[in-house]
Amino acid sequence: MKVKKIILFIVEGITDETCLGYILSRILNNNEIRFESTCGDITSQMGINPNNVAAKVGEIVKDFSGKVFKASDFAEIVHLVDMDGAYILDDQVVEKTPEIPRDPDKPQKPYYGNDQIFTDNIDGIRQRNLRKSEVLDRLVSLNKVWRTIPYSVYFFSCNLDHVLHREGNLFEKDKYIYAARFEKDCDSPEKFFRIINAQEIIIPGNYNETWVFIKTEANSLRRYTNFRLFFTEPKNQR
């Protein structure tokens, strides 16, 4: 019997796995589907930069592997990232006004509009965007981690909640509710493919072309994803 290889999805949080774990296991049943949560966004993490992010991703894979798996046990690494408006202009990061809703659990969280980010920390978000965009540029150019394992990175804009639930600014407590609801409702591959191929969120073009698009104007705030290409575009075309 052929041994299944691992497709490891690197995600930012547990609710991402809740949304996608079951349905991806059904779709990709010729492989073993596993998730590794980074408990936050490594692309904007302090200390991470274009020079060390490839090594950081490799460390994540090695930590997941422990003493159980080796590089040859993996089919590929798939990194799912939120765009968070990383490529907008500095003057599109503006002061949060009193009428902007605040998450009681994280009141300092930025609020994502269609063309602007509203925040109490304008300089901090501008610096985050610069750091994040430079790191993402490096990840898009990366095609191997841990020396030999194929790697690709796909975006959800402005975040996964925005794409899957049509809500880009969910309160922390609501993320779990929406994720569990999506897991229950998206109960067939056909439903999932209808969602990620909806005309309002897809971007024409190949892997590199979709990345060029999402970096343009305010697209990194608007509701788009290129995740469909994971299922349709041959890996050797990147």
Contact yes or no for 202/228 (Cβ under 8 A): yes
Phi, psi of 154 (to 5 degrees): -125, 150
**Residue 76 reports pLDDT greater than 90:** yes
Q: What is residue 234's predicted lDDT score, i.e. its pLDDT?
A: 74
Question: Sign of torsion, CA 93 113 186 236?
Answer: negative
CA 228 to chain CA centroid, Å, is 13
**For 87-120, what is each residue's pLDDT tens digit?**
999 999 999 999 999 999 999 999 999 999 999 9
Half-sphere exposure of 231 (CA within 13 A, CB side): 15
Burial-class residue 135 by CB neighbours within 10 Å (0-12, 13-18, 19+). buried
Stretch 35-58: mean pLDDT, rounded? 97
Percent of the chain with pLDDT over 90: 96
pLDDT for residue 32 is more than 80: yes
pLDDT at 172 over 90: yes
How far apart CA 180 and CA 157 sit, in angstroms, is 20
Burial readout 80-109 (b: 16 or more C-beta within 10 A, e: otherwise): bbbbbbbbbeeebbeebeeeeeeeeeeeeb
| Backbone φ/ψ region at 66: left (φ over 0), alpha (ψ -120 to 50), beta | left
Amino acid 227: pLDDT? 98
pLDDT at 89: 98
Q: Specify the pLDDT at position 3.
A: 83
Q: What is the CB neighbour count within 10 angstroms for residue 36? A: 17
C-alpha to C-alpha distance for 50 and 45, rounded to whole angstroms: 12
pLDDT tens track for 219-228: 999 999 999 9
Q: Is residue 50 within 8 Å of 131, Cβ to Cβ?
A: no
Given the structure tokens 């690494």, which residue do they identify? 77
Identify the band that residue 197 occupies on the pLDDT scale cut at 50, 70 and 90.
very high
Cis preceding-peptide flag for 158 (omega within 30 of 0): yes
Task: Tell me the pairing of strands 144-145 and 224-225.
Answer: unpaired
Which residue type sits at 75?
A
In this predicted structure, the answer to whether residue 230 has a pLDDT above a threshold of 70 is yes
